[in-house]
Amino acid sequence: MFKSILNTLSNCFKIPELKSRIVFTMVVLGICRLASLIPTPGLNSALLKSYFEHGGGKNMGNGLLGMYSLFTGGGFERCAVGALGIMPYISATIILQLLQAVVPALSKLAREEGGRTKLIQYGRVLTLFLCLGQGFVMAIGWERFSDILPDFQGNLVLIHAIWWYRIQTAVILTTGTMLLMWLGEQITDRGIGNGISLIITIGILARLPAAGQGLVDMFLTHGSLGEHRYNIFHFIALVLLLCAVVAGVVAVTQAERKIPVQYAQRVVGRKMYSGGSSFMPLRVNYSGVMPVIFASAILMFPSMILNFLGSHFNIKAFIELAALVNRGSGVYLLLYGLMILFFSYFWVATQFNELQIADDMKKSGGYIPGVRPGQATSNFLHRTMSRITLAGAIFLTAIAVIPIILQEWMTIPYSVAGYFGGTSLLIIVGVMLDTMRQMESHLLMRHYDGFLKKGRLKGRF
């Protein structure tokens, strides 16, 4: 198996076009990593780096800062020019996608010729404004970092003119994100894979050395009786769990329900087009990683708000409620799972338009065998998508709670537990599969064997 993979990789470099695309992608990704390493002027990045290296901010992974740090490859912890990462662009894209479901003008624009180009331009403009706002907020966060993490001592800001520091930092962070956005688009056009997704993935993979060190420390740390807390059986169990989770993510990510579609003979002008048969693939995990991101982002705030109100107004009931909905509790896991289920259906409802699909199919002379065209086809697609979405949502819930259980209930470090599921693993597997698929298409066009000689992995549900 490994020999076959190595042969396939060597074949990739035998095709000049594919070789140049791979090299270009690797060089640009290296430049993107520099954005998370170069410190922002006017900030004492060495002080913050030293704080995290000595074990500070252990609970940062539980909140919004931990998510930002994960997607930027530690740019926030280094006060880097790329501390915002590519997330503002992702947020702008998601906002526009959701608006298309409620704003008819945007929905019509998306279907017009050249409309996608205009939507991309709108996304860039929206990204600019989001960057300026988030950059300003992050500048204030670094300014008052001791309020975010009380155990931090010192002052990160080196500029006395505080408003000049805020404006300068916001502009620098905005420039860093816009540069990353442009580099990601260059990878998409001239490289291999989706550039924006690869930038996020490389930021997540950059934390692998820290995860490896955390895994080693787990088996070297002694308990209260002087014995090792974890033994070889724990290590074997973790490896088996990781293999099972990765295999499950790969299988469900590629799994799809194939709906047969039959096309009747039709006459267009003086030409007659013969009928044929095809299929419509409906992905089991249609919403991807979005429900997990939405649920995680929303559930960050109740505990923070209740803790603030309880401590500020000295209300004990709020503090107890905050502990009840804190990350890792049974109530939190229940709410987390329910919100993932809700957002899975919400995303499908906003992005999968069965009415338009049925109408387009009817206009092109296509129909599903045994189902009447029109409204009946729309109802059939709605019922089918609802059933397979339930399976995908249950899978997402299981994958999302595994890192929380490992971290909170089994005391495994966050840097290690984060790679056993959740957002990071879903993104890595999805992006890697998409990149491999593009590389395989180049190989097959030149009559080389792809990564999967027996065909792509497909799931049935």
Asked whether residue 292 carries a pLDDT value surpassing 90, the answer given is no
**Is the model more confident about 176 or about 272?**
176
Query: Residue 449 — pLDDT band, cuts 50, 70, 90?
Result: low
Q: Structural domains in the chain?
A: 1-195 (1.10.3370.10)
Other CB atoms within 10 Å distance of the CB of residue 460: 8
Q: Using the 8-state DSSP alphabet, how is residue 328 labeled?
A: T
Confidence tier at 117 by pLDDT (50, 70, 90)? confident
pTM (2 d.p.): 0.82
- Kind plus residue range of the DSSP H or E element containing 300: helix 290-313
Least confident piece of the model among 46-55, 144-153, 161-170, 222-231: 222-231
More confident residue, 418 or 453: 418
**375 compared with 327, residue with greater pLDDT:** 375
Residue-wise pLDDT tens digits, 224-240: 445 556 778 888 888 89
- What pLDDT, on the 0 to 100 scale, is given for residue 450? 59
The residue with tokens 């704080």 is: 51
Average pLDDT over residues 41-69: 70
pLDDT of residue 59: 52
pLDDT of 227: 56
**What is the structure's pLDDT at 54?**
66
Residue 461 scores a pLDDT above 50? no
Instruction: Write down the pLDDT at residue 459.
Output: 43
Residue pair 287/348 in contact by the 8 Å Cβ criterion: yes
Q: How far apart are CA 331 and CA 95, in angstroms?
A: 29
pLDDT of residue 455: 46
List, for residues 382-401, the tens digit of each pLDDT value: 999 999 999 999 999 998 88
pLDDT value of position 223:
54
**Could you please report the per-residue DSSP string of 270-282?**
TEEEPPEEEEEEE
Give the model's confidence band at 56: pLDDT under 50 very low, under 70 low, under 90 confident, else very high: low
Q: How confident is the model at residue 270 (pLDDT cuts 50, 70, 90)?
A: low
C-alpha torsion sign, points 176, 77, 433, 21: positive
pLDDT band with cut points at 50, 70 and 90 for residue 12:
confident
What confidence tens digit (pLDDT) does each residue in 186-211 have? 999 999 888 888 998 898 888 888 78
Please state, in angstroms and as integers, the Cα–Cα distance from residue 276 to each residue in 91, 260, 269, following that order: 41, 11, 19
Residue 255 has pLDDT above 50, yes or no: yes
Say what the pLDDT of residue 275 is: 63
d(CA 266, CA 256): 30
DSSP labels, 10-71 = HHHTTSHHHHHHHHHHHHHHHHHHHHTTSBPTTB-HHHHHHHHHTT--TTGGGSHHHHHHHH
pLDDT at 351: 84
Strand order in the sheet with 256-263: 276-283, 256-263, 366-367
What does the mean pLDDT of the chain come to? 82
Mean pLDDT, to the nearest integer, of 428-434?
87
Determine the Cα–Cα distance for residues 290 and 301; give it in Å rounded to an integer: 18
Across the range 134-149, mean pLDDT stands at 84
Report yes or no: 149 and 66 within 8 Å, Cβ to Cβ. Answer: no
Q: Answer for the pair 74, 36: CB distance below 8 angstroms, yes or no.
A: yes
pLDDT of residue 457: 45
The pLDDT value given to residue 382:
92
Say which amino acid occupies 342.
F
Question: What mean pLDDT do residues 11-21 have?
Answer: 84
